[in-house]
Structure 1
Amino acid sequence: MGFLDSIKRGLRLIKLDGKAAAEIAKDSNSTLYGWLFIIIAGLVNVLASLILFIFSPYELLYGLAYYVGLGLLWILILHGLAKLFGGKSKLKEYFRAQSHVSLLSWLSILTMVNIKFLPDIIGLMISIWSIVMTIVVVKAVHEISTWKAIIVALALPLILIILVLIGGLAYFGVLNPDQFLPSV
């Protein structure tokens, strides 16, 4: 299977085809293409941010490494959570399928069109659809129920939202401790 065939399977995955996720997970060539998809998605995201900031080449490389590192960490955590819920897949198989979800991030280049809220709306749509795709991948590759796959896919975003809320409360609590924090 070549690179273009892998892209075609990724497009089937974007259409929420669970069979495509299972095919990708079984194909050993998809490991290399998965790495390429993640790296290209990182490059696209870094380039899309050029509209907002001017970066040095060092910062561009750092941004790429940051995106790839977070993507791998995300895959590791999701795989671990799926295993806790009875998932049957190996890490390499799950990596192959989940890395193809980053194909959707290639659309981030559209955020360079700076028309009012369009970049924000595009980014939000990509994020939401990536979560939906992750549910399909976890269900198909780990062979767990839909509800367990939903819990696995939503666990990290919900944890991040809670951490942001706690951070916000802590920040504003420090600004005016008489109202937010109990006095001793």
Structure 2
Amino acid sequence: MDERSMAEMAADSKATGMAVLIILIGWAIAGFVGAVVAINPFTFLASLVFGALFGVVGLYGVVGLFIWTGILHILARIFGGVGDYIGLFRTLGVGSVLQWLMFLALVPFFGAIIQTAIAIWSLVIAVVAVKVVHKLPTGKSAAVVIIPTVILLILVLAMMMAIFALVGLSIFAALQGQTVPMPGLA
């Protein structure tokens, strides 16, 4: 998408439905890919039904984009942006059409490369969308997108470290013949 197309998309009130439809289709594909990747003879059917259900409904995708758009919109305003929330939502939603290529993640070895390329390109689209909708310079638009992305990555890494620490403690305790109390599980 070029900047002119993004500006037209942001201003087009009919594009909201198209953005939501693109997200729903993307999540349907993600649900299918998730189910296929999780193939296990014992859980395949459950994975397929669960993945397809949430993929088709797309609730997570739509809600996630509403939240992500809100975060970017607030940061863009802090950086001096003048655009509106719904215009940014439309542009990011239509820009997420790249998610339709996620089925390529099923290709051995190249799947991870393709997923990484899609993730990076999605961030580039977000930077351009913020730039166009909020009329910010490229540097500020990049900061608006990079700041929450880095914070999210740090939070995910911290959660992964906590999970690995708990698993490690459980294994160590099991080797010692003890149990480790898990918070929230009694």
Normalised by the length of structure 2, the TM-score is 0.77
SS at match of 1:86: coil
Corresponding residue number in structure 2 for 1:108: 102
- Which residue of the other structure, out of 67, 74, 81, is the alignment partner of 2:75? 81
- What is the distance in 2 between the residues matched to 1:56 and 1:166? 30
1:26 pairs with 2:20: no
Displacement of 1:52 in angstroms is 1.2
Once superposed, what is the RMSD of the aligned Cα atoms? 1.9
Instruction: Report % sequence identity.
Output: 35
Higher RCO (CA-CA < 8 Å; seq separation 6+): 1
Residues 172 and 60 (structure 1), Cα distance of their counterparts in 2 relative to 1, 3 Å cut = closer
Q: Deviations over 1:4-40 (max 9, x none)?
A: xxxxxxxxx1xxx111110101111111111111111
Displacement of 1:61 in angstroms is 2.2
Displacement of 1:58 in angstroms is 4.1
SS at match of 1:144: coil
Kindly name which structure, 1 or 2, has the bigger radius of gyration based on alpha carbons. 2
Provide structure 2 residue ranges, at least 5 long, that are not aligned to the other structure: 39-43, 170-186
Corresponding residue number in structure 1 for 2:182: none
- What is the distance in 2 between the residues matched to 1:61 and 1:139? 35
Kindly indicate whether the alpha-carbon contact (under 8 Å) linking 2:127 and 2:138 is maintained by their aligned counterparts in 1.
yes
1:118 pairs with 2:110: yes
Kindly indicate whether the alpha-carbon contact (under 8 Å) linking 1:111 and 1:119 is maintained by their aligned counterparts in 2.
yes
Normalised by the length of structure 1, the TM-score is 0.78
Corresponding residue number in structure 2 for 1:9: none
SS at match of 1:89: coil
Comparing 50-59 with 89-98, greater Cα deviation is found at 50-59
Corresponding residue number in structure 2 for 1:181: none
Displacement of 1:120 in angstroms is 0.9
Q: Spell out the pairing of 1:1-184 with structure 2 (5 A cutoff).
A: 13=1, 17-53=2-38, 54=44, 55-63=47-55, 64-113=58-107, 115=108, 117-170=109-162, 175=168
